[in-house]
């Protein structure tokens, strides 16, 4: 249940999620149109970065109008005398679940959804911006089966060198940890790490893996290819993922167009194998942990997901 019944004339229907200094609510206006409303409260001077992040998220989102990118509609500043005390960001409501909670049903669907992600990121890159925090929890699958990229709080212009490390440990690119230029290849790495997790149930070793007190360096023998972990993964898809997570940014695919094109090739490989009766439900099973996590009884090459309640709009 939401803690408020109304915020600035919007009826609060539910609390969708709680993050660092922020809460997201499902709200509706006087015309019964649904929105997501992010509220960021500044309780101390140290909270200013969260306020700045919310403002930046709104400003970046407003630069784009693409079906795969969540729209930000309005920014409202609440002031205490002359100082901003809280920020409210009115956003497009997205009905669905994140990839962290709901994985695609098979490899063909996975390839299609990741192609949509690549296309959306390509739009951002053409507009001069990098998302910089692509991960399963920032990709939603709508009720109609399409994707929506959310949370532009860490997005920045291409070439930005950030003052501090920003990113999610299990998906973060080396240049983010080393505080070098953020480029489209940063999103390529983040997406590659996301695909790796979807295919294998495992995370790519990064420079700051979750739960690690220090920095670890990845070597070639510490990261098995997706096809080594899950034999149902098409060779073209396994190769693409490994190219995306190259330590050196110049060795990754140059553009999201290349990533999308290679995902289409991988989808065709899966379709041909499926048509020939060689899908996991008949002649193959995932290896290792991926086998234990396969969805249902189909063993269709995509790792299993949580059956818990979907996280909606909680970015």
Annotate the chain with DSSP letters as a single string: --S-SEETTEEEEEEEEEETTEEEEEEE-TT--EEEEEEEE--SGGGHHHHHHHHHHHHHHTT---TTB--EEEEEEEEETTEEEEEEEEEE---EEETTT---SSHHHHHHHHHHHHHHHHHHHHTTEE-----GGGEEEETTS-EEE---TT-EETT---SS--S-TTT--HHHHTT----HHHHHHHHHHHHHHHHHS-PPP-SS-TT-SS-----GGGS--HHHH-TTS-HHHHHHHHHHT-SSGGGS-SSHHHHHHHHHHHHHHHHHHHHTT-STTTT----HHHHHHBSTTT--SSB----SPPP-S--
Question: Do the domains at 8-92 and 96-293 have one common CATH topology?
Answer: no
What is the structure's pLDDT at 286?
35
The residue with tokens 């019964």 is: 32
Homologous superfamily (CATH) for 96-293 = Transferase(Phosphotransferase) domain 1 (1.10.510.10)
Burial of 33 (0-12, 13-18, 19+ CB in 10 A): exposed
Token digits for 11? 């009826």
pLDDT digits (tens, 9 = 90+) for 180-218: 999 999 999 999 999 999 999 999 999 886 655 444 545
pLDDT at 296 over 60: no
pLDDT digits (tens, 9 = 90+) for 219-228: 445 789 999 9
pLDDT digits (tens, 9 = 90+) for 40-93: 998 888 889 899 999 999 999 999 999 999 999 999 998 877 788 899 999 999
pLDDT at 4 over 80: no
What value does the mean pLDDT take over residues 297-315? Answer: 44
What is the structure's pLDDT at 165?
92
Q: By the 8 A CB rule, do 239 and 253 touch?
A: no
d(CA 238, CA 21): 38
What is the structure's pLDDT at 77?
92
Confidence of residue 274 (pLDDT cuts 50, 70, 90): confident
What is the structure's pLDDT at 23?
94
Q: How many residues appear in the chain?
A: 315
Confidence of residue 278 (pLDDT cuts 50, 70, 90): low
d(CA 208, CA 203): 12
In this structure, is the dihedral angle defined by the CA atoms of residues 28, 33, 34 and 36, taken in order, positive or negative?
Answer: negative
Compute the C-alpha angle 164/158/258, nearest 5°: 120
Helices 235-244 and 256-275 pack at an angle, to 10 degrees, of 160
pLDDT at 304 over 60: no
What value does the mean pLDDT take over residues 102-114? Answer: 92
% the chain with pLDDT above 90: 65
pLDDT at 295 over 60: no
Question: What's the CATH fold of domain 8-92?
Answer: Phosphorylase Kinase; domain 1 (3.30.200)
What value does the mean pLDDT take over residues 123-130? Answer: 98
What is the structure's pLDDT at 305?
43
Q: By the 8 A CB rule, do 111 and 270 touch?
A: yes
pLDDT at 309 over 70: no
pLDDT at 281 over 50: no
The terminus-to-terminus CA distance of the chain in angstroms comes to 18
Q: By the 8 A CB rule, do 12 and 6 touch?
A: yes
Domain boundaries, the chain: 8-92, 96-293
Record the pTM: 0.85
């Amino acid at each position: 249940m939401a803690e408020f019944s109304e915020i600035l004339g919007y009826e609060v229907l539910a609390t969708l999620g709680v993050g660092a200094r922020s809460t997201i609510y499902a709200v509706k206006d006087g015309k019964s149109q649904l929105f997501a409303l992010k509220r960021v409260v500044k309780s101390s001077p140290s909270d200013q970065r969260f306020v700045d992040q919310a403002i930046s998220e709104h400003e970046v989102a407003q630069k784009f109008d693409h079906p795969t990118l969540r729209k930000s509609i309005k920014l409202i500043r609440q002031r205490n005398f002359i100082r901003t005390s809280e920020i409210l960001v009115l956003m497009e409501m997205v009905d669905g679940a994140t990839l962290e909670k709901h994985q695609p049903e098979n490899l063909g669907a996975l390839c299609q959804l990741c192609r949509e992600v690549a296309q959306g990121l390509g739009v951002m890159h053409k507009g001069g911006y990098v998302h910089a925090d692509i991960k399963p929890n920032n990709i939603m699958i709508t009720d109609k089966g399409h994707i929506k990229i959310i949370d532009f709080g860490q997005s920045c212009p291409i070439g930005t060198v950030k003052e501090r490390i920003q990113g999610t440990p299990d998906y973060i690119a080396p240049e983010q940890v080393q505080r070098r230029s953020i480029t489209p290849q940063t999103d390529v790495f983040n997406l590659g790490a996301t695909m790796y997790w979807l295919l294998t149930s495992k995370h790519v070793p990064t420079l700051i893996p979750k739960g690690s007190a220090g920095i670890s360096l990845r070597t070639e023998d510490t990261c098995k290819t997706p096809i080594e972990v899950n034999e149902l993964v098409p060779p073209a898809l396994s190769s693409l993922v490994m190219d995306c997570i190259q330590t050196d940014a110049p060795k990754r695919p140059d553009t999201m167009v290349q990533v999308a094109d290679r995902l289409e090739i991988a989808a065709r490989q899966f379709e041909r194998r499926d048509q020939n009766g060689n899908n996991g439900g008949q002649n193959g099973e995932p290896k290792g942990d991926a086998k234990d996590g396969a969805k249902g009884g189909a063993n269709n090459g995509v790792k299993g997901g949580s059956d818990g309640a979907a996280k909606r709009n909680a970015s």
